[in-house]
Amino acid sequence: MTGEAIPSPHKGEGKGEGSSTRVYRRPVPAGWWARRSHYFWYIVREFTALPMALWLLWLLIDIRSAAVRPVNFHPQTSIAFVAFSVVCLAFALYHSFTFLSLAGVIIHVKVLDRPVPSRLIVLSQFALWAVASIVIGFVLIWFAR
Amino acid sequence: MAPKKITIQAARFDPEHDERPRMQSYEIPFSDDSMVVLDGLNYIKAHVDGSLSYRWSCRMGICGSCGMMVNGTPKLTCNAFLRDYWPRPVVVEPLNNFPVIRDLVIDMDDFMHKLQSVKPWIIRKEEMPLGAAEHIQTTSQIDDFRQFSQCINCMLCYAACPVYGLNNEFLGPAATALARRYNLDSRDQGLKQRLPVIASSEGIWECSFVGECSVVCPKGVDPAKAIQQTKLDTTMRFVLPYGNRDPEPPRQLEAEEA
Amino acid sequence: MEFESYDVLIVGGGLAGIRAAIAAVEANPRVKVGMVSKVYPMRSHTVSAEGGAAAVMRPEDSYETHAFDTIKGSDYLADQDVVEAFVREAPLEIIQMEHWGCPWSRDDDGKISVRPFGGMTTWRTCFAADKSGFHMLHTVFQTSLKYPQIHRHDEAFVTKLLIEDSRCVGVVALDIRSGRFDAITAKSVILATGGLGRIYAFTTNANICTGDGMALAYRAGAGLKDMEMVQFHPTGLPFTGILITEAVRGEGGYLLNNQGERFLKRYVPNKMELGPRDIISRAMITEFEEGRGFEGPHGKYMHLDVRHLGEEKIDRKLPFMRELGREFVGIDIVTDPIPVRPVQHYMMGGVDADISGATPILGLYAAGECANVGLNGGNRLGSNSLPECLVFGAAAGRAAAHYAASAKSSGSNPIDAMLWDETRRVETAYMEKHAGEERMGVIREEMQREMDEGAGVFRTREGLSRLVRRLGDLRERFEKVRIDDTSRTFNTDLCAALELDFMLEVSQAVTTSALAREESRGAHSRRDFPERDDEKYLKHTVAFRTDEVLPRLEYRDVRITNFQPKARTY
């Protein structure tokens, strides 16, 4: 263990012989998140914001370049873009899945003086997600035609 | 058949002699399948090395004294069975994220301070006289806060929380769960007085919902849930009209009923 | 030299101690209260209490019934005026706890529930699921945090009471963390240090229950009253000694021997599993001796069966028991019977104190399990101890605050000298001896085994005499004890030595008192004197420390008001 021993601000000091007790502070190791799988998957969850942001940035750049030169806008044929999109989709799905699963912890409602079971809340969140995905997908495809 | 043995590696630190903590290895008889890590430590102290220092008291998982890191996981050593580790060695270290005073003993001052800071007592606008009997409270109302009242102050959650490890100012799981216990108690009217502490930047908003606190909690308090629900509740209070209205005072027994 | 000074100093941070602190402050908001505890208060052994707190809460109940149940339960050794005052205060304390946030379990109408309990003729035990002590301790501790007049010294071990001119003027305490000895002066001191279960090998008690306050008072010249009255709880888990609450029987559990028989019908036919603890413990031991117990790797045991209650009721009323069964025995009490055997649990005996907690030493008070105010006599009824802590903790707090208002502080010169003497005493006895021959753990384990054998449920003259001698030997060996830890910082070896010193002291008081009481009354059961003898022994035993090995015993009449002693059958 590395760290430093520093004098403790323990109260009650200073009377009589005034002994100050050194305490030892252990710093959190830089690789703390790799030590437990739960910490690791938490960092992955937090990290998903980055690929999603990058994908949106790429999309914006593509739209901008399409506005400049429509004929050069073939995002669906760019292998790199498809590969990158798949990776980002995986991260986005993980993000959504963890976020919606945790809704059951965060949201607490009581109906007729009884708490609604968290599984029901989580199911309703996933159902809403499915409905939203279908609706948005439908709209996008309709516009694309 | 030769008696079974097990190795316990315990962290040692004496501020009078040691620059930093070191590990010391002890081999002890593993005589009974129901022996826990705490039994191992007690054996070492009584028969091998009386200078090993650690806290313990009830040995039944209710006093919260004996929390330590066992093979890297915060556990109550009175409830960590040696049979789950044998034949590999058991590494016992002081709880993470707290300063070490000696061997396996950590400095709890910060934790005690944080407990007190959330005003963990019933706050009422007007005290009810004793003669008016008890507040009426239904089992359903107790169910609202029951889970958060189970905390034994063992601090395993603080040892598990990387946010607390990286930022000691964070209010932390147990303190927030305790605040929520009182905020949800139908007899309490003190939410507003607790908000400045819990809804501060070092309060609930420092939490990024790692969730490890609830994983290690030996009593099922689920402090992560307490914190996230508090985030939602305080946000709704802020956003909704009349969100700052005080909760209804609990119904008292009428004089005729008593 | 300046010392920390308080109006009221409380030694011990459990239910009685914290209740006393709050009561002192509420009696006089200008009073300065100090609380010294060798552990953080939420670790106090109160936290393990499970069953509940009895009080007259229902219109069909009466003070007279609660008082009679308690007095009969005590085998008529209780001081009846104390009992009568207690039963009147207990309901107010239950309500006070409720106002402070204690989550008492409720009936459908939202009022505090009551459950049946051993020796109680009606349902009067209030409870917070099956963690009543846990909830009560956390309630008073958290409530105490709002009073700025209460100053805590956590992890400070009191090694000696300071006595000046026959008055208690403070304490010497070891600051465990730094190893420094402090003198803390006070106009009044309240001992609330709990029981002494760890003098026995098989006990429900925590590691910290070592009779500290009793030994401190004993050494200061106070008497220890009724020390022979040690309660053995019928239902402890074998090996660990972990308590299975009486509430399990209160909710309808059955005790079965190896014939599957509810054997208590032959001992307490009218109360069955809800008989008083001393009678049931004796019944179980008798059944063991007659071959009707189950044999196990950790001794004989009986079955405590709650399977017929059903999962829903168990989860609602006894969830902690289900958890304990699962974690420590690997059983599910919904489908398996619980192995149980009698285990040391509570100490009726303690520091001789009156109804307001005052001991014969001026300025010294005692409350809770470490005190004997005369409430429990020869046997305590289950669920009387938690309200006992509240009622007499509050009484002592108020009395101490009142006394402190008119008491003078002591001069600081004698304190200097006393602090120095005590520091040197401990240092020479433990810290400077590196060539000692005896290991503390060995002496302690021998004492505990001997106490289990000689001063258990059934006692004999031979067993007790032998025990007196063995304790004397152990005391001699203890003078040569070596402690391994030479550090000043958080030296738990030193604390263990101080505790063993206290335990040897109180063990001798227990054993000598038991040897002298030649009758069977309450929890004190002599095979050689199996009958109760009201003519000779309707008296309290009071043990005073002497410079010799054995204490001097005095006897004091029991105070009887309304209930004349009768035969005790259930």
User: C161-215: per-residue pLDDT in tens?
Assistant: 999 989 999 999 999 999 999 999 999 999 999 999 999 999 999 999 999 999 9
The alpha carbon of residue B1 is apart from the nearest alpha carbon of chain A, in Å, by 38
**pLDDT computed for residue A116 by the predictor:** 87
CATH code at position A112: 1.20.1300.10
Strand partners, C170: C162, C185
Residue C148 above 70 pLDDT? yes
Phi-psi region of C486 (alpha: psi -120 to 50; beta: other; left: phi over 0): alpha
In a domain, A131, yes or no: yes
Residue C358 phi, psi (nearest 5): -75, 135
CA distance B210 to chain A (A): 6
Quick: pLDDT tens for C444-471.
Answer: 999 999 999 999 999 999 999 999 999 9
User: Looking at the structure, do residues C250 and C337 belong to the same domain, yes or no?
Assistant: yes
Residue C205 maps to a domain: no
Residues of C in contact with B184 (CB under 8 A): none
Are the beta carbons of C51 and C250 closer than 8 angstroms?
yes
Nearest-CA distance A74 → chain B (Å)? 39
> Number of A:C CB contacts under 8 A?
25
Residues of C in contact with B24 (CB under 8 A): none
Shortest Cα distance, chain B CAs vs residue C176, angstroms: 11
Contact assignment for A105 to B225 by CB distance below 8 Å? yes
Residue-wise pLDDT tens digits, B152-175? 999 999 999 999 999 999 999 999
In a domain, A27, yes or no: no
Of chain C, the percentage scoring pLDDT greater than 90 comes to: 92
* Interface touch B64/C43, C-beta < 8 Å: yes
Phi, then psi, of C369 in degrees rounded to 5 = -65, -25
Checking if the pLDDT of C435 tops 70, the result is no
Interface test with C, best of A11, A17, A22, A23 (most C CBs within 10 A): A17
CB contact under 8 A, A38 and B212: yes
Range of the domain at C305: 235-342
Same domain, C451 and C486: yes
CA of C268: how far to CAs of C76, C424, C462, in Å?
18, 55, 29
To the nearest whole Å, the CA of B161 is away from the closest chain C CA by: 22
Cβ contact (<8 Å) for B162 and A39? yes
pTM: 0.94
Domain extents for chain B? Answer: 5-106, 109-239
DSSP C369: G
| Displacement of CA B85 from its chain's centroid (Å) | 24
For residue B141, is pLDDT > 80?
yes
Domain around A108: 34-144
Section C280-285 average pLDDT: 96
- Structure token pair of residue B74: 């915060």
Q: What H or E segment, with its residue span, contains residue B116? A: helix B109-117
- Residue B211 forms contact with A (CB below 8 Å): yes
Mean pLDDT, rounded, for C537-552: 95
Same domain, C401 and C444: no
Give me the count of residues in chain B. Answer: 258
- For residue range C421-433, what is the model confidence (pLDDT) as tens digits? 999 999 988 888 7
Do C47 and B253 make contact, defined as CB atoms within 8 angstroms? no
For residue C413, pLDDT beyond 80: no
Helix B173-184 / helix B139-146 crossing angle, nearest 10 deg: 160
Cβ contact, residue pair A10, C177, below 8 Å: yes
pLDDT of residue A72: 60
Q: Is C39 on the interface with B (CB under 8 A)?
A: yes
Q: Where do the DSSP E strands lie in C178-238?
A: 180-191, 224-225, 230-236
pLDDT of amino acid C498: 97
Interface partners of B (3+ CB pairs, < 8 Å)? A, C
Backbone angles phi and psi of B82, in degrees to 5: -60, -30
pLDDT tens, residue by residue, C343-393: 999 999 999 999 999 999 999 999 999 999 999 999 999 999 999 999 999
The pLDDT confidence band at residue C80, using thresholds 50, 70 and 90, is very high
Chain C residue closest to A18 (CA)?
C180
pLDDT mean across residues, chain B: 92
Which chain A residues are Cβ-neighbours of B215 within 8 angstroms?
Answer: 38
| CATH code of the domain in which C251 resides | 3.90.700.10
Confidence category of residue B132, pLDDT binned at 50, 70, 90? confident
Regarding whether C69 and C188 lie in a shared domain, the answer is yes
* Position C570 in a domain: no
Q: Average the pLDDT over C91-118 and give the result.
A: 96
Q: Which chains touch A (3+ CB pairs under 8 A)?
A: B, C
Q: Nearest by CB to A25, which of B11, B99, B212?
A: B99
CA angle C392/C398/C404 to nearest 5° reads: 130
For chain C, how many structural domains are there in total? 3
Contact A108/B101, CB-based, under 8 Å? no
Q: Which residues of C are the active-site residues? A: 233, 249
Q: How far is B19 from chain A (nearest CA, A)?
A: 7
* Rounded-to-integer distance, Cα B37 and Cα B79, Å: 8
Residues in B touching A33 (Cβ below 8 Å): 162
Residues C377 and C306 in one domain: no
Contact B99 A38 (CB under 8 A): no
| Mutation site, B102, B110, B210, B229, interface A, largest A CB count within 10 A | B210
Q: pLDDT tens for residues B71-110?
A: 999 999 999 999 999 999 999 999 999 999 999 999 999 9
pLDDT higher than threshold 60 for residue C85:
yes
Identity of the residue in A15, A17, A21 whose CB atom sits nearest the CB atom of C177 = A21
Q: Do A23 and B143 touch (CB under 8 A)?
A: no
Q: What is d(CA C127, CA C250) in angstroms, rounded to the nearest whole number? A: 11
Best C175, C176, C415, C487 member to test A by mutation, with max A CBs in 10 Å, is C175
Query: B147 — contact with chain A (CB < 8 Å)?
Result: no
**pLDDT single digits (tens) C249-269:** 989 999 999 999 999 999 999
C36 with C175, same domain?
yes
Quick one: average pLDDT of C505-521? 97
Q: Which residues of B touch A112 (CB under 8 A)?
A: none
Q: Which residues of C touch A (CB under 8 A)?
A: 1-4, 153, 175, 177-182, 488-489
**CA–CA separation, B119 and B97 (whole Å):** 24
pLDDT digits (tens, 9 = 90+) for B201-244: 899 999 999 999 999 999 999 999 999 999 999 998 888 876 55
Residues C276 and C386 in one domain: no
Please check whether residues C68 and C121 belong to one and the same domain.
yes
**B122:C143 CB<8 A:** yes
**Closest residue on chain A to B226 (Cα):** A106
Residues paired with residue C186 on neighbouring β-strands, in sequence order: C6
Q: pLDDT by residue for chain A (145 residues), tens digit each?
A: 345 444 444 433 333 333 457 899 999 999 999 989 999 999 999 999 999 999 899 888 888 887 877 766 665 667 888 888 899 999 999 999 998 988 888 888 888 878 888 889 999 999 999 999 999 999 989 988 7
Pairwise CA distance, residues C112 & B133, whole Å = 10
pLDDT tens profile C10-64: 999 999 999 999 999 999 999 999 999 999 999 999 999 998 999 999 999 999 9
Q: How many CB atoms lie within 10 A of CB B81?
A: 16
**Percentage of the residues of chain B whose pLDDT score is greater than 70:** 93
The residue type at C182: D
Do the chains contact at C180 and A10, CB–CB below 8 Å? no
What number of C-beta contacts closer than 8 Å exist between A and B? 75
The b/e string for C360-380 (b: 16+ C-beta within 10 A; e otherwise) is ebebbbbbbbbbbbbbbbbbb
Å between B21 CA and nearest CA of chain A: 7
Interface test with B, best of C25, C39, C106, C500 (most B CBs within 10 A): C106
Q: Considering the domain boundaries, does residue C47 fall inside one?
A: yes
Whether residues C380 and C507 share a domain: the answer is no
Print the SS3 string covering C27-90: HCCCCCEEEEECCCHHHCHHHHCCCCEECCCCCCCCHHHHHHHHHHHCCCCCCHHHHHHHHHHH
> Scanning every residue of chain C, which has its alpha carbon at the shortest distance from the alpha carbon of B184?
C101
Interface chains of chain C (3 or more CB pairs under 8 Å): A, B
Q: What CATH number belongs to B5-106?
A: 3.10.20.30
Dihedrals φ, ψ of C488, to 5°? Answer: -85, -25
Q: Per the structure, how many domains does chain A have?
A: 1
Q: What is the CATH number of domain B109-239?
A: 1.10.1060.10
Residue C333 to residue C317: CA distance in whole angstroms: 13
Contacts of C177 in chain A (CB under 8 A): 10, 21
Same domain? For C217 and C270 the reply is no
Q: Determine, yes or no, domain membership for A135.
A: yes
Between chains, do B122 and C45 touch, taking CB under 8 Å as contact?
no
User: Which of C48, C135, C492, C493 is the best mutation test for B, with the most CBs of B within 10 A?
Assistant: C492
Q: Is B245 on the interface with A (CB under 8 A)?
A: no
The answer to whether residue C550 is domain-embedded is no
B165 → closest Cβ in A21, A28, A46: A28
> Is residue A79 a part of any domain in this protein?
yes
Percent of chain C exceeding pLDDT 70 equals: 99
Of A1, A8, A102, the CB nearest to B21: A1
The answer to whether residues C378 and C293 belong to one domain is no
